[in-house]
Every structure is written in C-alpha cells, then in structure tokens.
Amino acid sequence: MSPWNQFEPAIFETCEPTLEGWIAHPAEAISATAYLVVAILLWRHFGYRDRTFFVRYLPFALGIIGLTSVLFHVSYTAIFQMLDVASIPLFMGYICAATVSHRQQVDVSMFPRLFWTITTISMLLVAANLALGFVVLIGQGCVIIWYWWTNPRTRSNPDARRAILLLVSGAVLLGLDHAAIGCVSGIGAHLIQPHSIWHLLSAASGFFFYRAERQLERNWHSRALKTPTIAPSDQS
C-alpha cells in the first residue's frame, strides 16, 4: 500500500513504472540527488567565500530543485510535480539574468532585481498552467543555448561549451522520455531511464554554467578596470 495514494497522481508520465510503496520511482528519485550533490560542491568551493547574491544564489537554487525533484519522484503526485516544475525557474532565471547581463552589459548590482523579475514571471506562468509553464521554460532554454553558443565570448569559454552540450544532451533525453522513446524495461526499469540521465546531465550542466559565469564575470570586471577614462580637464 502506497502512502501516496491519497494524493492526486502526477499529470505527466515518465518512462519509469510506478511502484507501490514509499518510493514510486527509485531510479529518478536517486538520480535527482545529483542536484543536491552539485549544490553542496558549489557551496563548499565557491559560495561560502563570497557574500554576493550572484555567487551564493545558484547553489541554493540547485538545492531547492534537488529537494523538490526527489520529493516528486519519490511520491509521483501532482502537488510535488507542480513544486518540481515551479522550482526550475530558479535555475533558468539565473541563467537568463546572466545572459541579459552579458548582452546588455548590465552592472552586477542589478543582477538580483533582473533575476527575481524573470523568475517570478516564470513561476506565475507555471502555477497558472503547467503545460504553459513547460513551454515558457523550453523557450527560455532555447534562447539561452542560442545566445551562449553564438556569442564568441561565451562560446570560447570551455566550461560554457560543456554546460551547453550537457544541457542539450539532457534535454533530448528528457524529450524522449516524455515521448516514451528509449524506455528501459525489465530488471533495469528502476535502475536507469532517460529521465534519470537527464537529472545527471542537467545537474552537471549547472556546475559548469556556474564556473563559466564566474570566469566571465571576472573577465568583464577586469576589462572594465583596464578601460581608460577621460578626465574632464582632458576633454578641452
């Protein structure tokens, strides 16, 4: 008897068959802990040394995504599916805000306001309609990938290239999973599925996006400091 039967089941299905018990989707639940692992790694190596919102935020976001994803795949219920999808804008909003910052050369002090604006709008759309929320998140992902891959400054960064390739590969597997293509059956059904690999690849993508963004920010500020300024007395 599953303790989750009293809740409404999830709206969208994945490849992994649902088990009756405390853990509905073992493969997907275990793989979702990758977000928590990456969050801890980023915090230990980067976050605790810096008090800026920009540096400390992503480990927190990945931690929330990991927690909601684990709860969703453990329970496979509609309420936790909504929370799982609603947490994705925490990551997408971060990358979108970073993308706009690079394109428009927005000062880093504006990053929190830009981030919260994008993230709040995305979360409201997810809450209003789950399918619409998916469309918005997919659109954001396409814009991010297009910009980071076509911009010479970001494409030349090795970590940015790794992040993009991991994210695209994971997104393809996620799409295949929702289309019930490439599903693993039999004894391996609860060991690995396209959706579980998506968790691993997207978590790794978050790690490399973070490293790339830190490097790009350092380069940006280094160029700003080297840019000569014209004193008022020199303009005559």
Instruction: Answer yes or no: is 50 within a domain.
Output: yes
Q: What pLDDT, on the 0 to 100 scale, is given for residue 103?
A: 67
CATH classification of the domain holding 44? 1.20.1070
Residue 34 covered by a domain: yes
What is the pLDDT, as a whole number, of residue 224? 46
Residue 198: give the domain boundaries. Answer: 26-221
Instruction: Specify if 10 maps to a domain.
Output: no
pLDDT for the residue numbered 228: 47
Is residue 163 assigned to a domain?
A: yes
Number of domains in the chain: 1
- Answer whether residue 194 is part of any domain: yes
In a domain, 58, yes or no: yes
- Would residue 6 count as lying in a domain? no
Q: Tens-of-pLDDT digits for all 236 residues of the chain?
A: 688 888 898 988 899 999 988 999 999 999 999 999 999 998 887 655 555 555 677 888 899 999 999 999 999 999 999 999 989 998 888 888 877 776 666 666 677 888 888 899 988 988 888 888 888 888 888 888 888 888 887 788 899 899 999 999 999 999 999 999 999 999 899 999 999 999 999 999 999 988 888 787 766 555 444 444 444 444 44
pTM for the predicted model, two decimal places: 0.86
* Burial classification of residue 42, based on how many CB atoms lie within 10 Å of its CB (0-12 exposed, 13-18 middle, 19 or more buried): buried
Q: Would residue 3 count as lying in a domain?
A: no
